[in-house]
Structure 1
């Protein structure tokens, strides 16, 4: 009789990268750095941040976690997690849930632009709400650990 409580055994080449994520496999690992944030309805702020991208070779998806903290005290500020799935047309489907219980679909519009520059991962986030047009919100530079 088969034991169905056991999780499936990953293939022997579990360390290999699924061909579907090869174009963004440089993200895999842990990145840490600092960023700045602001928005017309809040005060500007600085923060520390850690991003983690992980992958199992049998799925064309990258798991993503993010956490931020206040630089002066280390107090947690924000956390989110989700999945990144590259599409054949070059776009990346991203699903993210925040620690506040919100998903990004609850804001009117949000854009995230990630760049790999000289070995550092940088990003810029712009956001719009029902009362504010698309505005810069966050930007950071992170180094791979």
Structure 2
């Protein structure tokens, strides 16, 4: 499969690369997404944030590079950042590794449904975290908006909603 849309490559670098067959079912993620979200947890105050996600793919290997950053809506002050790799498997499973700016590392496994444009991830390992024990992430593309929910469990609470956002592709 090859995606070529001549005039829409204002921010792309060079020619549009072919999409690796393993990545093709998740190609709807590719690009930059921006929007706003809300966070909270039983042990912290609720908060709002702006966010940008970037999914990129070279076409040569069956992997999607991922980066994320958030900032305060009121001041633009940076809040959080993370980056990693998404490795889709032909059987509809997905392996994800993420390193957060806090030093926390996630190894997640899950599933994707290309037809429904839905992704569900569950942590296999949360490393370098004294309090966080489990993280789940779910993504859904509906009406051109990518929304997600992140749930988290700590050493004192079970899996509970932590973050949710809705983003539009730039």
Give the aligned length.
133
TM-score by length of 2: 0.76
**Is 1:14–1:58's contact at 8 Å kept on the other side of the alignment?**
no
The answer to whether structure 1 residue 70 and structure 2 residue 40 are counterparts is: no
How far apart are 1:88 and its partner, in Å? Answer: 2.2
Q: Which has the higher contact order (CA 8 A, sep 6+)?
A: 1
SS of 2:136 mapped into structure 1: strand
RMSD: 1.2
Greater shift in the superposed pair: 98-107 or 80-89: 98-107
Which position in structure 1 is the counterpart of 2:160?
135
Q: Take 1:113 and 1:46, find their aligned partners in 2: how far apart are those partners? A: 19
How far apart are 1:127 and its partner, in Å? Answer: 0.5
The answer to whether structure 1 residue 31 and structure 2 residue 33 are counterparts is: yes
Post-superposition CA distance 1:42-94 (Å, at most 9, x none) = 00000000000000111000000000000000000000000001112212111
Which position in structure 2 is the counterpart of 1:112?
137
Q: Which runs of 5+ in 2 are unaligned?
A: 1-14, 107-125
Alignment of 1:1-145 (within 5 A): 15-104=17-106, 105-106=126-127, 107-145=132-170
Q: Which runs of 5+ in 1 are unaligned?
A: 1-12
TM-score by length of 1: 0.89
Determine which structure has more spread, i.e. the larger CA radius of gyration.
Answer: 1
